[in-house]
Amino acid sequence: MLSILNKTQYKAVTTIDRPTMVIAGAGSGKTRVLIYRLIHLIKSGVKSRNILALTFTKKSANEIKYRLSSLIDKNELDKISIGTFHSIFAKLLRKNSYLIGYKKNYIIYDRYDSEKIIKKIIKNLNLDKNIYRSKSLLDKISMIKNNSFNERNLDITNIYANYKKYCYQNGIMDFDDILLYTNILFNKYPDILNKYQEYFKYILIDEYQDTNYSQYRIIKLLSLKHNNLFVVGDDSQSIYSFRGANINNILNFKKDYKNAVIIRLEQNYRSTKYIVDVSNQIISLNKRKIDKKLWTKNKIGKKIKIYKAFSSFEESYFVANTISKLKKTKKLKYSDFCVLYRTNAQSRSLEESFIKKKIPYNIYGSISFYKRKEIKDLIAYFRLIVNLNDEESLIRIINYPKRGIGEVTLKKILFLSKQNEKRIFEILKNINNYKSIINIDQKILDNISNFCKKILFFNKRLDEDAFLLSKEISETFGLLEEIKKDKIKQGIDNVEEFFNSISTFVEDKKKIKNEEISLNAYLESLYLDLDLDYKFNNLTKESVSLMTIHLSKGLEFPIIFIIGLEEKIFPSILSISSQLEIEEERRLFYVALTRAKEDIFLTFSKNRYKWGKIVPTICSRFVKEIDEKYIKYIKNDLNNQKFYDPSLLGSDTNHLKEGMIVYSNSFGIGKIIKIEGKIITVYFNNIGEKKILNTKLKISY
Ligand SMILES: Nc1ncnc2c1ncn2[C@@H]1O[C@H](COP(=O)(O)OP(=O)(O)OP(=O)(O)O)[C@@H](O)[C@H]1O
Ligand SMILES: [Mg+2]
């Protein structure tokens, strides 16, 4: 092993039987150490099923599994519990749900689903939705849940109480509930805790700096008996404090765990010397941090390139153009490039230029497939069948495909449910009992009974093979027919992919003893385990990656672009008033820089669209913080050109001549190729030829 690990890494891999924390900068091999420790444990005779490896994202869990697959036997690999906190503890909770007052078939809601519930509650409470914003309310609720596992400490506002009640009544758990209830379970039932302490004898955690209090408590309890905890992290990469991540978990490790060893790795294997030095310099500006040295034996590399674009269009154009050029001249692959941005919305203009330049690209994380209508409809069926109390799903599909249960009927049903304090499905099931109270056509009543019968028919068969059952559900309710009616090919393809993924899930699980292949198990893993980006976004391997910096944690690419380096974008407008938050943004910048192996391009734009208007911007403080000696500026002649205000020109076309460089708010920079009266034909850098009215152009001389 010493041939693939340095001495300190080797020590971290082989120090077992006492709590160990590896605290080290980016690219120093923390994840590598974690993987080799796992192998070392197995080779030393530890049973695979006694190992628990926790990661922060589905992506990194899958990455670890993938890396292990070439190093150990598949049978052994399947027995190790590797996954995110949410995935591992959701499975554990499912087995014990009755103890915390949930039925076995509760459903997991993701953030988008939860937001919908919050919106509903705001509406029901007659609150102003401009003041009570669902997103920030959900953040607050999440903070409460993650930071005080003891329910009695919860600050129960009206909205929170309603949300909690709704989730409970509908048999729903959100992501934070998974951790909250795991804590409650372990605290209330020492025998259960004891069982899992024995089971998970060896615990390994990657990206420990991003654990919140809830996660910290779970780990503390689980590791209490065998004290065999191994965590790796970097306080300088802590970027989730807005979700409650707590840096004290790292700072207090020695106090929290008796006999703990702390190991520091200092050699970076990922990046060139320039990149390591720049990253060190940037992070040294933060006050709150553990001092670390990071050095590398790698070659010195190239300076950090900075490009000041004229507009956001032009910025994207520069990125696309540079990638094309470098790919050709340096014989690189598209997959060697990654473009990082602060927020998802920034990907749009990049996409336009990538399409124009015919560059294949993958956007990670933004449009998740289960937000697509046809998939959402199918999921709603599955959810309702699994959990008859899921009213959100019930309402979604009660009249899809159309079965004559329209708005008016639905209103009557909702009224009955409220009046009788009964769940909607209860009312539907016994709708004939209410005949005398409400006025609904016999034909509609029959439709309702028919619908209920079918749902119940499947509800009784929940232990069956998820693939076969879901196929039958879709046939019985005519779902595929309905989707085909829309004649949107993409929709049909998506559904086909969806069924493929259920089939793969079932086949995979069948290979492992005692694994569930039920519909509910599939739904759970859909949200918590499966990395479906490739399948549902038609992603290809040979393409440029586009993602937010948050998503890029732990990954590495030869060439990194970081775009939109402007004040109020990065650092984000929400953070600029607080020193602590600026430090978090700086850590985010550190994460971005340290993803690069070879080369970094930083870009920003002199002007940017805000609410339909072009406004001048201010370059990000982070760019200014970089020491000049690491920087190479890329010249952009456009910035030296003068652009006149078109309102001063009126509609006078005399100013315009063929060959002039012009600028349009909508299309960016271009060159006039023809003038016909007021109609000007311009060749735009980004979009090619376009006819445009003179008054819409600014002219550069
Ligand atoms: N001893 C070593 N010899 C050769 N390459 C190494 C060694 N240790 C790590 N590497 C390589 O360095 C790169 C960074 O390693 P790794 O991803 O484990 O770092 P990390 O500390 O987890 O980084 P991050 O903080 O970004 O998550 C990987 O490509 C890894 O294979
Ligand atoms: Mg790592």
Give the residue numbers annotated as catalytic, written as ranges.
Answer: 30-31, 206-207, 237, 595
> Reduced to 3 states, what is the DSSP secondary structure of residue 80?
coil
- Residue 650: the pLDDT is 41
The ligand 1 atom at the shortest distance from the C-alpha of residue 595 is 26
Instruction: Look at residue 648 in the predicted model and tell me its pLDDT.
Output: 37
Topology given in CATH for the domain delimited by 107-170: Arc Repressor Mutant, subunit A (1.10.10)
Tens digits of per-residue pLDDT, 500-514?
889 988 988 888 878
Nearest protein CA to atom 11 of ligand 1, as residue: 269
Q: What is the bridge-based pairing of β-strands 20-23 and 229-233?
A: parallel
The residues pairing with 672 across neighbouring beta strands, listed in sequence order, are 682
234 lines ligand 1 (CB under 6 A): yes
pLDDT at 282: 97
Binding residues: 24-31
Tell which wins on pLDDT, 531 or 395: 395
According to the model, what pLDDT value does residue 657 have? Answer: 77
**Is the pLDDT at 457 greater than 80, yes or no?**
yes
Ligand 1 atom having least distance to the Cα of 234: 25
For 251-285, how does the pLDDT look when each residue is reduced to its tens digit (9 = 90+)? 889 999 989 999 999 999 999 999 999 999 999 99
In sign, the C-alpha dihedral spanning 460, 465, 468, 471 is: positive
User: Residue 347's pLDDT is what?
Assistant: 86
Helix (H) or strand (E) holding 598: strand 596-605
CA of 68 to the centre of ligand 1 (A): 15
pLDDT at position 701, please? 42
| Choice from 3, 11, 270, 598 to test ligand 1 binding pocket (greatest atom count within 8 A of CB) | 270
- In this prediction, residue 369 carries a pLDDT of 65
Residue 133: pLDDT over 70: yes
pLDDT, residue 437, reads 83
Q: Is 5 in the pocket of ligand 1 (CB under 6 A)?
A: yes
Local confidence band at 46 (pLDDT 50, 70, 90 cut-offs)? very high
pLDDT at 329: 95
Specify the CATH superfamily of domain 304-360+540-633.
Answer: P-loop containing nucleotide triphosphate hydrolases (3.40.50.300)
Q: Which of 127-131, 279-283, 494-498 has the highest mean pLDDT?
A: 279-283
Share of the chain above pLDDT 70, in %: 91
Ligand 1 lined by 9 (C-beta under 6 Å): yes
Q: Is 29 in the pocket of ligand 1 (CB under 6 A)?
A: yes
What global pTM score does this model have? 0.83
Ligand approaching nearest to the C-alpha of 22: 1
pLDDT range class, residue 696, cuts 50, 70, 90: low
Residue 366 has pLDDT above 60, yes or no: no
Give the model's pLDDT for residue 111.
85
Do the domains 304-360+540-633 and 371-521 sit in the same CATH topology, yes or no? no
CATH fold of 7-95+179-267 reads Rossmann fold (3.40.50)
What is the CATH architecture assignment of 371-521?
A: Orthogonal Bundle (1.10)
pLDDT at site 647: 38
- Least confident segment among 184-188, 199-203, 309-313, 665-669: 665-669
C-beta 269 within 6 A of ligand 1: yes
Average pLDDT over residues 109-121: 89
Rounded CA-CA distance 256/266 in Å is: 24
- Asked whether residue 536 carries a pLDDT value surpassing 90, the answer given is no
User: What pLDDT sits at residue 2?
Assistant: 67
Ligand 1 atom having least distance to the Cα of 555? 26
Domain boundaries, the chain: 7-95+179-267, 107-170, 304-360+540-633, 371-521, 641-700
Give the Å distance between the CA of 362 and the centre of ligand 2. 22
Q: What is the per-residue pLDDT for 247?
A: 83
Q: Is the pLDDT of residue 637 over 80?
A: no
> How far away, in angstroms, is 33 Cα from ligand 2 center?
9
Q: Dihedral (C-alpha) 231, 233, 239, 244: value to the nearest 10 degrees?
A: 30
Residues of the chain with pLDDT > 90, as a percent, come to 57
Residue 644 has pLDDT above 50, yes or no: no
Question: Chain-centre distance of CA 188, in angstroms?
Answer: 32
Residue-level pLDDT at 651? 43
Comparing C-alpha atoms, which of 346, 147, 286 is closest to residue 591?
A: 286
Amino acid at the residue 122: I
Which atom belonging to ligand 1 lies closest to the Cα atom of 35?
Answer: 18
Nearest Cα residue to atom 27 of ligand 1: 554
17 against 256, higher pLDDT: 256
pLDDT (tens digit per residue) in 215-227: 999 999 999 999 9
**What average pLDDT does the chain have?**
88
Mutate to test the pocket of ligand 1, among 11, 31, 63, 594 (most ligand atoms within 8 A of CB): 31
> DSSP alpha helices (H): ranges in 597-697?
621-625, 646-649
Known binding-site positions for ATP: 24-31
Q: Pick from 160, 121, 168, 120: which is nearest to 143 by CA?
A: 160
Least confident of 186-190, 293-297, 393-397, 637-641: 637-641
Residue 554 CB–ligand 1 contact under 6 Å? yes
Looking at residue 261, its pLDDT comes to 95
CA pair distance 405, 399, nearest whole angstrom:
5
